[in-house]
Structure 1
Amino acid sequence: MSFSMNNGYDLWLNYTIISDEALLKTYQNHFQSIYLNDGGETIEVIKKELKMGLGGLLDMEVQFKPYDVSENQLIVSNYGNLPDSFKNSVDVSGITGEGYIIKTIKKGKQSYTVVTATEDIGLLYGTFHVLRTLKMHQSLDGLHIEESPKVDLRMLNHWDNLDRTIERGYAGFSIWNWQTLPDYIDQRYIDYARANASIGINGTALTNVNANALILTPQYLEKVKALADVFRPYGIKVYLTARFSAPMEIGGLQTADPLDSQVIQWWKDKAAEIYKSIPDFGGFLVKANSEGQPGPQNYGRTHLDGANLLADAVAPFKGKVIWRAFVYSEHDAEDRAKQAYSEFVPDDGKYHDNVLIQVKNGPIDFQPREPFHPMFGAMPNTPLVMEFQITKEYLGFATHLVYLPKLFEEVLQSDTYQKGEGSTVAKVVDGSLYNKKLTAMAGVSNIGNDANWTGHPFAQADWYGFGRLAWNPYMDSEQIADEWLRCTFNNNNNFLEPVKKLMLESREAVVNYMNPLGLHHIFDTGHHYGPGPWVGNLSRPEWNPVYYHKADEAGVGFDRTETGSDALSQYAPEFKEKFGNLETCPEEYLLWFHHLPWDYKLKSGRTLWDGLGIKYQQGVDQVREMITIWEDMKPYVDEYRHNQVSMLLGIQLKEAKWWRDACMLYFQTFSKMDFPEEMESPEHTLEYYKSLKFPYAPGIRPRWD
């Protein structure tokens, strides 16, 4: 089997010819021509996508014709323009404006695959679904699909700076070239929009939440407008991060107090200016009073005051304000895991209707594993946005193969118990638990200007999987992996089954070799590259790994029960009882909620100390297994990508050993116990691991205070 070079730029949209000759002929016969109704910009991009997609997959010249009773046709049409003979065969009453129906209908000897919707954007989503069906080699006979998104706003958050560096970015520089905008429209901007539309993403925040006020100046707004114009036909709205001190920094005011009349007017004027050039501007995303960022608390005001100020400014234009709940203060001695809940939950129901509170999936900071954030389910009267991190700040950057939809799925399926058993996080996110009218999910982007967009070829699956779960938070991560592999690589079962196994187990592997049994935030300082459980000299306590593991001769772990920080009290009583009781607390969260002796007996009968060593070793062994599986895939993958992934897996194995050895050597200084016999001996001394420095690790940012 031979392959041409594939650098991954085309993502899951690589429209190479279908290799199964019998299936190819079947598809070619099924799509002898296409009926596409006339329309605006979105209809034009549908036409281009069908030309590329069907032309490439089916190796044919795509012909657009009027409805033809003598040919098998693909019919892509708004319901209002659908040929009358098909209207009685489809019922659009059950789909939303972004929803679509795909149905294969036979009339006499002819077969028609109909894609219909009530809005053009629904047709675009349906078109991508048809192309995905072909790429996955699925039958068109009897096809009947009805899809509508379960979440309203499905957006990427780019932590891109105006100098093109990306905070926590591991795939090169920002794809936004502000220097050449607005006059030069890079093809990447169009392909970015195509890729996002293909998985249902409909919003993008272009700039870092650690915001730069310059993005709100006329010089940059005309550049933002150029991007908004590119994205609009693909159903994607642009959002900007608003620096709370912008009225002072670019507006010439002496204050940014949200209750000051001049400040209020400044934001109203700025919103009107933006909407004049970008009528469908989505709104503002705000990080305030967190990690040194300015905010309303600088003036003795609250997050409520700040959010409602901006909400009033964009409300006349139907804009939204997304206010991040990632806040913690060095002046607050309370457990960092509790601070966001304490600041936001008391104001539930007081935010304006166009305000959404964006909450990280866990209460600390995008750890390889952490329990869901206690705010989910605790604010029945306020829309909450789920914030996932697609970029791997704490999961080995873009060098480790870690399939994140498995993590996303775990969080979404977690039970909050807020309205009894079955009150899952997914039901909070999609609004069904409390009948929310406005729903959203955000993902911190892993996209850069690397040839393949994401650095690691398999990191594309995290972008893809986020989009699919934002569309439907009940999707199964295995189904998503199957889709992505078929669309990105091939449909050979000898490839699919072992690589799916590799992907689905990869997240647990990284937890094992980084943060087993509930350990968390023991990463080296600043860059978060590699282990640093010994770090304890930083200016703020909650920046130090020793704050989180609390290792001493008596044991290890963070007591969040009533005898400790009592963070468990922020969860529903059923959750508190389950996780507060050592008999019922899942062992994967043991040290998150409990400080336990080194000789504490695990369910296996082994000591906690032995259990840690065994888990670290298991993680290393799992990476070895991944390497073996991938090596066996050489016959099914092009040489370029196979070699790429092989080299990256080699780095991952090296770093998994580093994590095991550094952490176990450090914790041994407290436990005074021998390593379990299952664990390989460390390759270096603890002093060696402590001496390692990485001043130029990618994605690093300065402290903000």
Structure 2
Amino acid sequence: MSGAVLALLTCTGTVRAEDGYALWMRYTPLESALVADGRRPLPEVQAPDQTATQRAARTELVRGLAGLPGNALLAQSTVATLPALVLGTPQSSTLIAPLRKEMDSLGEEGYLLRRTRMQGRDVVLVAAPRDIGVLYGVFHLLRLLQTGASLDALALRESPRMRLRVLNHWDNLDGHVERGYAGRSLWDWQTLPEWHDPRYTDYARANASVGINGTVLNNVNASAQSLAPDYLDKAATLADMFRPYGIRVYLSVRFSAPIELGGLNAADPLDADVQRWWQHKADEIYARIPDFGGFLVKANSEGQPGPQDYGRSHAEGANLLADALAPHGGVVMWRAFVYAHDVPADRATQAYTEFAGLDGAFRPNVILQVKNGPIDFQPREPFHPLFGAMPRTPLMMEVQITKEYLGFATHLVYLGPLYEEVLQSRTHARGQRATVAQSLTGMAGVANIGTDRTWSGSHFDPANWYAFGRLAWNPYQSARDIAADWAAMTFSPDPEVVQPIVGMMMDSREAAVNYMTPLGLHHLMARGHHYGPGPWVDGGPRADWTSVYYHRADRDGIGFDRTARGSNAVGQYAPEVAARYGDLARVPEPLLLWFHHVPWDHRMASGRTLWDELVGRYSQGVRQVKAMQATWERLEGRVDAQRHAQVTAFLRIQLREAQWWRDASVAYFQSVSGRPLPAGEIAPPHPLAWYQHLQFPSAPGDGR
């Protein structure tokens, strides 16, 4: 190994600040791997370094080899017994070249990991058809070493199941992050393009480590200025820094940009001048960013301009941009999150109503980006009815990584189970596209990444970034297994640390559902900033921005009737799914009040009435947070003091706010139902009016 590599190993293995910045890429020194002279036995690394991606792979590997907890490769080894680590492609390594045919089926991003013997030596191979696959393979190998996995019989083949694995940043050009709870925007537009902040490279490393291959730099509520030449120069600098890590840059675009930037009188997609403007803009972008990914578009939703302003369809609007990008290989990600100025009978039905009839009308390079559920990133929703309903249109699922409706950054809510629940939902009883995962071309995650040292606002929120990447790569993985990997890499591979942390994580999403929106309730948060409970919210400019619109509680019962007798939202699902959701006796209880208006005395599976069950679920959510607190307290001394203290404080916040959600919600629904509290349930400490008059003008992450 060269002196330069040894120097890199030395400097990367010394300082280990436990402030969360390293994320899951903590390559902590392993004391048991030291030899008598105080130096760690290090394997030989044979890796090309002729391209930026090759250098990134080599650098990451030697960074990791500085010391890994539970390292099965280094522990109890001598220099003589260590296998050599061989990285490369058939083009860059003569040792890898004989595997060319074996790797043909891996695709452009796949890789294989193998322990074998070559030329009389024990070797660990990281081989791939292209450099980016080698980098992904290096991160996979480091994950195995970080989690203490045995490499004795290493033989893995990996390829992504989805083509697009993209983060959506809701960052504005002024540095504000809409629905962001981790500080200011990571992108410092003021100092770009001159200043290449090293944090941009660390961001790219983190994304590559879980296979994320795209990033949308700016808010879907876009400013036309993001397409101005000076901002394109800034975006090009970020693209240059991300390119070695396999990450393409995308931009959210404002549909009316030809008016605001180009001086045209309209943005009609069938207008020849508008078409030429977008073609020239695409040429301008690709001259700066040759591998530019494409556009993300929010149109005719929440006041954003779009093709319907000119009597055109979503397909005609998307195809306008797709035609401009097609010569360069770019794509259009067109969001299906739409609702009209006139409030429909059921907002949950509108996206399907507007898009299902357009199946097959989009250009091949248009991908319809559909939220995981039909409303808006609620703690629990049924899967969106568009999944499985548009077989001739590429679809990608949009999920939130930031927790707009799940307690912001301070609540410990692991979203892996939410993602897994939706991905595994059956859209049809049988067939090749019978699950949501099988209907997808890609996944998009609305990021909660900012200038906070933890990147995401807390020490547990990066788990959702990590889980998103892992499930976008392979949607058939287990959220529990992913949590175990993350916990081992982030805190310690010690099973006595991993197991309780995974238990907390796996219970956390259901706890939040219980203390916020149990039994299929949804959209119960306060108005605007979405901080805290607001089941009483009514009035204002739109009924479907209120809580009472969704829960429809009255003296007789609660819930939104979406059966054939009500809004018939169930009719947008396949017949066998509709039959299950529409039947009060068969609908899953977690979705009961999403699809049915149910009497308060309806008998639940527990034997309790609906009213007693509802109050009990709210209280259960509080108890679950207390259990999380107790688990975390027992980990004191096993987790470094700095991170343990912050998580402890955040769990106190979560318990206080879970109790607030429970008390405010119970007080409100009791005022509507007129029923006594179940035996053993404690009355809210304040009257309903006290909760209703609370104000939070400085709640973080509000939209504007």
Shorter-chain TM-score tier: over 0.9
Amino acid at match of 1:538: G
Measured after TM superposition, the shift of residue 170 of structure 1 is 0.4
Q: Which residue of 2 aligns with 1:434?
A: none
Q: 1:464–1:23: structure 2 CA closer, same or farther, 3 Å change rule?
A: farther
Name 1:433's counterpart in structure 2: none
1:390 counterpart letter in structure 2: I
Task: Please list, as runs of the form range in 1=range in 2, the aligned pairs for 1:223-622 lying within 5 A after superposition.
Answer: 223-417=234-428, 419-420=430-431, 423-429=434-440, 439-622=441-624
Tell me, yes or no, if the aligned pair for 1:71 and 1:110 is still in contact at 8 Å.
no
Change (3 A) 1:90 1:6: farther
3-state secondary structure, aligned to 1:113: strand
* Counterpart AA for 2:140: H
User: Could you say if the C-alpha distance between residues 678 and 18 of structure 1 is closer, same or farther in structure 2, counting changes exceeding 3 Å?
Assistant: farther
Partners of 1:678 and 1:17 lie apart in 2 by 52
C-alpha deviation, 1:52, in angstroms: 1.5
Tell me if 1:139 matches 2:139.
no
| Cα deviation code 1:313-357 (max 9, x no counterpart) | 101101000000000113142310000001011010010000000
> Aligned pair 1:653/2:655, yes or no?
yes
Q: CA shift at 1:88, angstroms? A: 5.7
Is 1:16–2:24 an aligned residue pair?
A: no
Deviation at 1:51? 2.6
8 A Cα contact 1:523 1:545, kept in partner: yes
1:5 and 1:638 in contact (8 A); partners too: no
Change (3 A) 1:535 1:173: same
**Hey, what's the Cα distance between the residues in 2 that align with 1:219 and 1:34?**
42
What is the alpha-carbon distance in structure 1 between the residues aligned to residue 700 and residue 128 of structure 2? Answer: 44
Instruction: Note the C-alpha offset of 1:38.
Output: 4.1
**Deviation at residue 82 of structure 1 after TM alignment:** 3.4
Structure 1 runs, 4 residues or longer, greater than 6 Å off = 22-25, 68-71
Contact 1:330 1:541 in 2 (8 A): no
Task: Please state if 1:150 is matched with 2:161.
Answer: yes
Rounded Cα–Cα distance in structure 1 between residues aligned with 2:664 and 2:300: 35
Cα separation, 1, equivalents of 2:352 and 2:585: 27
Q: CA deviation at 1:311?
A: 0.3
Letter of the structure 1 residue corresponding to residue 607 of structure 2 = G
Which residue in 1 is equivalent to 2:190? 179
Q: Which amino acid aligns with 1:487?
A: M
Query: Any idea what SS the aligned residue of 1:326 has?
Result: coil
Task: State whether structure 2 residue 198 is matched by structure 1 residue 196.
Answer: no
Contact kept, 8 Å, 1:228 with 1:278, in 2: the verdict is: yes
**TM-aligned CA distance change 1:305 to 1:288, over 3 Å:** same
Deviation at 1:85, TM superposition (A): 8.4
Q: Distance in 2 between matches of 1:119 and 1:421?
A: 30
Residue 76 of structure 2 is matched in structure 1 by none
Residue identity opposite 1:603 in structure 2: A
Q: Secondary structure at the match of 2:115?
A: strand
TM-score (norm 1): 0.94
Unpaired segments ≥5 residues, structure 1 = 63-67, 430-438
- What is the alpha-carbon distance in structure 2 between the residues aligned to residue 371 and residue 481 of structure 1? 23
Q: Structure 1's 58 and 641: CA in aligned 2 closer, same or farther, altered over 3 A?
A: closer
Count the aligned residue pairs.
Answer: 683
Contact 1:102 1:116 in 2 (8 A): yes
After superposing the two structures, state which structure 1 stretch, 186-195 or 44-53, moved more.
44-53
- For residues 81-136 of structure 1, the C-alpha deviation after alignment (integer angstroms, 9 at most, x for no partner) is 43358826982133111000010013586310011000000000001111111111
Distance of 1:8 and 1:58 partners within structure 2: 17
Q: TM-score, with normalisation over the residues of structure 2?
A: 0.94
Quote the offset at 1:193 in angstroms: 0.3
Deviation for aligned residue 1:249:
0.8
- In 1, Cα distance between equivalents of 2:574 and 2:202: 44
Q: Quick one: structure 1 residues 102 and 516, their matched pair in 2 at CA, closer, same or farther if it must change by over 3 Å?
A: same
- The one-letter amino acid paired with 2:22 is D
Question: Does the 8 Å contact 1:5/1:640 carry over to 2?
Answer: no
1-side partners of 2:315 and 2:632: how far apart? 51
Distance (whole Å) between structure 2 residues aligned to residue 118 and residue 88 of structure 1: 9
Rate the CA distance shift 1:69–1:659 in 2: closer, same or farther, 3 A: closer
Segments of 5+ residues of structure 2 without an aligned counterpart are 1-14, 74-78
Residue 18 of structure 1 and its aligned partner are, at CA, apart by: 2.4
